[in-house]
Amino acid sequence: MNADHVYAIAMKDMKEAFSSISIYGPMLGIPLFFAVVLPVFTVYISSYGGAAIAARLFGTAVAVPAGIGKNLLFIKFFAINILGPIFLTMPIITASVIAADSFSGEKERKTAESLFVTPATNIELLMGKILASLIPAFLLTVVVFVLYAGITNYFTIAKFGAALFPNTSWYMMLVNAPFLALTTIGTVVLVSARVRGVKESQQISALLVLPILIIPFVSVFTVTSLSFMFLLYMLIFLLATSALVLYLSIRFFDRERFI
Amino acid sequence: MYGDVVRALSVSKYFGSTKALSSISLRVKKGEFVLLLGPNGAGKSTLLKLVAGLYRPTSGRIFVLGSELHNNFGTKEAEIRKRISFAGENYALYDHITVMDNLLFFAKLYDIPDPSERINALLGDFGIEDLKHRRVEELSRGTKQKVAICRALLNDSDILLLDEPSAFLDPAASELLRAKLERLVREGKSIIYATQRIDELFNFKSNILLISRGRIKMKGSANSILSSIRNVDVEITTLNSVDAGAIKGNWTLKKSSGNSFVFQVKSVSTIPELISSIAASGGKILSVNYLKENIIEMMAD
């Protein structure tokens, strides 16, 4: 494998992605919403209705630690168990936007024919394009995690007497993030060959957020919590899934379908 | 294989149930210029993409520089691909990045060392060096075509596959391209050039393949191809008024409008005689045009 080819393809794709507002717009807008609006919203809600919501969520049987009101309990629960899984959609959304443009975009804009006549091999093409989607998706996720944690801590540290973030669950979610992105990218590669354009590719791959959105619900209904073990099982599952999806995407990569 | 740089053996290509090419055989030697002539949908682009390895034949085999190019190729095929260039009918450049970034990207994939000088020289040849830092999306269609040609010429390949490269070029750029391609052929490069423009028949000293409905209808020189076409419509415009109906010969007057006349000649070789007759009757000829649609329709028959 020629590393220069991989690097050239990855750099070209990233340059393209960040030169088009249709790509970087949603990529930056959604993370900013997650990182800034949601923590402010959480603190605001908790200040005015957190106790009532917490009472509804936990009932009166839940033992509240001494010195911590129900509104604070709500902040903690909401910030970790509800927003946590929502943050896990970040690598999926950003990876799907870039990967769809990278793969289906070549097909839609008919640039694949000039790329595919070059000496770049299938593995080089795929590696370059996967990196071009994975690197920004992961970096954006980290930035959003840091921003979110910083803003939430800023508003709550006085109330809790300690920082809410980072904690083990969030570290584990961060470890899960690249594998979510890889699973998404692999799915985009598989889908791109079979759809006409970027939009279809994005829409289908964005369906991957649905299983993630179930997590807050099962968390609310106390089926599970975002414990270290839960996130470790999730990581093992994602490792296997991303490996399988990437294997299939390479195995069934058919250049002719992109022409 | 037998010294041919390209050899296609009974190649057919179907897209679903649609037949694009039917049992086409082709040989291209080192230093040979092959012109594929045919109307839209004849199969010219499909044939070029098959040779470029972008499509797999449904049946038959294609050898390029002695090897078959598959869809999933390894190092050996990558080496062969370094010796092939392709400029499709779509300019196929990356719109959101600059001309220079586009060309540098392809130069890296072709492992061209220090490509900037070569890129500048090519852009300079086509008079667009000052546009190298502009995004492709800001360029006109003709300029994009020039950049696409520069990209195809970048890697100094042994085989050049060009699909309607002059479609959007101005006359000066077309002439420059013609001169460049002639020089490349003299240097031993092989070129397959697809066009639907009948006026390009005489631009190159080439072997011509007339393609229609996925089949090769005819092979030969420009003269032999043209003289085989019967009942060609020719539009002649004069500066002064002429009694075109009174000019008799191996042709018929189909239409006249002011000083513009459409004659149908039995064969192309009759056209000089028609022109002479009009001139002899006092007509000052301004222009003579084949009616392209008419010729292309005949090709498709």
Q: Which residues of B touch A252 (CB under 8 A)?
A: none
Q: Once rounded to an integer, what is the mean pLDDT over residues A9-33?
A: 83
Maximum distance among all alpha carbons in chain B?
A: 69
Residue A137 buriedness (CB in 10 A; 0-12 / 13-18 / 19+): buried
Q: Which of A28-32, B168-172, B180-184, B185-189 has the lowest mean pLDDT?
A: A28-32
Average pLDDT in chain A: 82
User: How far, in Å, CA of B6 to CA of B192, rounded?
Assistant: 10
Q: In this complex, which of B54, B79, B82 lies closest to A116 when CB atoms are compared?
A: B54
Residues 111-170 of B with CB under 8 A from A: 111, 135, 148, 151
Q: d(Cα A5, Cα B106) in Å, to the nearest integer?
A: 10
Which B residues in the span 69-88 are in contact with A, Cβ-Cβ below 8 Å? Answer: 71-75, 78-79, 81-82, 84-88
Strand-strand pairing, B159-163 and B84-87: parallel
Nearest-5° Cα angle at A247, A245 to A253? 95
Smallest Cβ distance to A110: which of B52, B90, B135?
B90
Q: Mean of the per-residue pLDDT values for chain B?
A: 88
Paired with A73 in beta bridges are none
In 3D space, the residue among B87, B107, B105 whose CA is nearest the CA of residue B97 turns out to be B105
Q: How far is CA A53 from CA A42, A58, B29, B233, in A?
A: 12, 8, 81, 84
b/e map A118-129, b = 16+ CB within 10 Å: bbbbbbbbbbbb
Chain B residues near residue A256 by CB distance under 8 angstroms: 54-56, 71
CB pairs under 8 A between A and B: 88
B110 Cα to chain A: minimum distance (Å): 6
Q: In the numeric block, which tokens belong to residue B147?
A: 């950049």
Distances (CA, A) of A259 to A97, A109, A196, A200, B86: 21, 10, 11, 17, 13
Among A5, A20, A117, the residue with its CB nearest the CB of B54 is A117
Give yes or no for B110 touching A (CB within 8 A). Answer: yes
Of the candidates B25, B50, B47, B52, the residue with the CA atom closest to the CA atom of residue B37:
B47
pTM: 0.83
Q: From the list A20, A114, A122, which residue is nearest B96 (CB)?
A: A20
Residue pair A25/A19 in contact (Cβ under 8 Å)? The answer is: no
For B68, the 3-state DSSP assignment is coil
Identify the residue among B97, B104, B108, B133 best suited for mutation to test binding to A, counting A beta carbons within 10 A and taking the highest.
Answer: B108
Smallest CA-to-CA distance from B74 within A8, A120, A6 is with: A120
Cβ contacts (< 8 Å) between A117 and chain B: which residues? Answer: 52-54, 81, 84-86
Beta strand segments in chain B, E: 4-15, 18-29, 33-37, 59-64, 84-87, 159-163, 190-195, 207-212, 215-220, 230-238, 251-257, 260-267, 285-290
For the ranges A200-204, B87-91, B175-179, which has the lowest average pLDDT? A200-204
- Start-to-end CA distance of chain B, whole Å, equals 34
SS3 A193: coil
Nearest to A121 among B53, B78, B101 (CB): B78
> Residue B97 and residue A19: Cβ atoms within 8 Å?
yes
Q: Which residue of A has its CA nearest to B109?
A: A5
Least confident of B156-160, B168-172, B278-282: B168-172
Contacts of A118 in chain B (CB under 8 A): 81, 106, 109-110
Q: Give dist(CA A17, CA A171) in Å, integer.
A: 28
From the list A2, A111, A119, which residue is nearest B81 (CB)? A119
- Quote the tokens at residue B241: 């008024």
Instruction: With both helix axes pointing from N to C terminus, report the angle between A70-77 and A122-160 in degrees, rounded to the nearest 10.
Output: 170
ipTM of the complex: 0.83
Contacts of B151 in chain A (CB under 8 A): 114
Closest of A114, A83, A96 to residue A23, by C-alpha: A96
| Mean pLDDT computed over B77-96 | 90
* Location of structure tokens 């000829």: B285
Supply the DSSP string of A95-114, one letter for each residue. Answer: HHHHHHHHHHHHHHTT-HHH
Q: Does A56 touch chain B (CB under 8 A)?
A: no
Q: What is the pLDDT of residue A59?
A: 56
CB of A258 closer than 8 Å to CB of A116: yes
* Residue B72 confidence (pLDDT) above 90: no
Task: Determine the residue among B14, B96, B135 to mutate to test chain A binding: the one whose Cβ has the most chain A Cβ atoms within 10 Å.
Answer: B96
pLDDT, one tens digit per residue, over B95-153 is 999 999 999 999 999 999 999 999 999 999 999 999 999 999 999 999 999 999 999 99
d(CA A191, CA A82): 30
Alpha helices in B116-251 (DSSP H): 116-125, 141-154, 171-186, 222-228
Among B67, B81, B94, B110, the strongest candidate for a mutation testing the A interface, having the largest count of A CBs within 10 A, is B94
Lowest mean pLDDT, pick from A206-215, B169-178, B255-264, B288-297: B288-297
Q: Give residue B232's pLDDT band: very low, low, confident or very high (50, 70, 90).
A: confident
What percent of chain A has pLDDT above 90? 26
Pairing between β-strand B207-212 and β-strand B33-37 as defined by DSSP bridges: parallel
With contact defined as beta carbons under 8 Å apart, do A68 and A54 qualify? Answer: no
Tokens matching residue B133:
């830092």
- What's the CA gap between A149 and A166, in Å, rounded? 7
DSSP-derived pairing of the beta strands B260-267 and B230-238: antiparallel
A110 in reach of chain B (CB within 8 A): yes
Residues 197-256, chain A, touching B (beta carbon < 8 A): 253-256
* Cβ <8 Å between A119 and B82: yes
Task: Write down the pLDDT at residue A34.
Answer: 77
The pair of structure tokens assigned to B296 is 């292309």
Q: DSSP class of residue B166?
A: T
Per-residue pLDDT at A222:
63
pLDDT at residue A7 greater than cutoff 90: yes
Instruction: With H, G, I as helix, E, B as strand and everything else as coil, classify residue B36.
Output: strand
**8-state DSSP, B16:** T
Of B74, B84, B105, the CB nearest to A12: B105
In sequence order, what are the beta bridge partners of B237? B260, B287
